[in-house]
Amino acid sequence: MMLHTVSDLNFTHEVLNTPGLVLVNFWAPWCGLCYLIDPLLNKLRSDWGDAVKVVSVNADSNLKLATHYRLTMLPTVILFQNGQPIFRLDRFEGKEEFLRHLNREVDRVALSRSMAP
């Protein structure tokens, strides 16, 4: 299952103006590691359901976004909450670490929401 693709043209609408959590996967066609995390992102999307929107951005085709978010490595995933970046992961240290880091951040946000008055 392919991730929803976002570009310079619709990034504001699809990510910055979306309430709640959005996980953005920055990748490039030449990046072998990027293809390795696709199944992990699909698993997270399935696990999280509607709690987190998961989208993909081709960094090569969207240089404005790549520059704005100062991408130095691919893949880079950035978790946004209500349009603000709150977590960034640009170092792939293995499947378990990748899943653990992202699940921890989503759980942290869910916990802080449940504790809000």
Question: What's the pLDDT tens digit per position in 7-62?
Answer: 999 999 999 999 999 999 999 999 999 999 999 999 999 999 999 999 999 999 99
| Residue 95 in domain | yes
Q: Minimal CA–CA distance to 4: which of 36, 52, 47, 70?
A: 52
Number of compact structural domains in the chain = 1
Residue 1 pLDDT more than 80? Answer: no
Determine if the pTM surpasses 0.85. Answer: yes
Note if 82 is an active site residue.
Answer: no
The domain of 99 spans 4-112
| Residue 117 in domain | no
CA distances (Å), origin 18, targets 25, 45, 79, 98: 16, 16, 12, 24
Question: What's the pLDDT tens digit per position in 64-105?
Answer: 999 999 999 999 999 999 999 999 999 888 899 999 999 999
| Residue 38 in domain | yes
| Residue 72 in domain | yes
CATH number at residue 80: 3.40.30.10
| Residue 99 in domain | yes
> What was the pLDDT predicted at 109?
86
Note if 45 is an active site residue.
Answer: no
Of 6, 22, 23, 34, the active-site residue reads 34
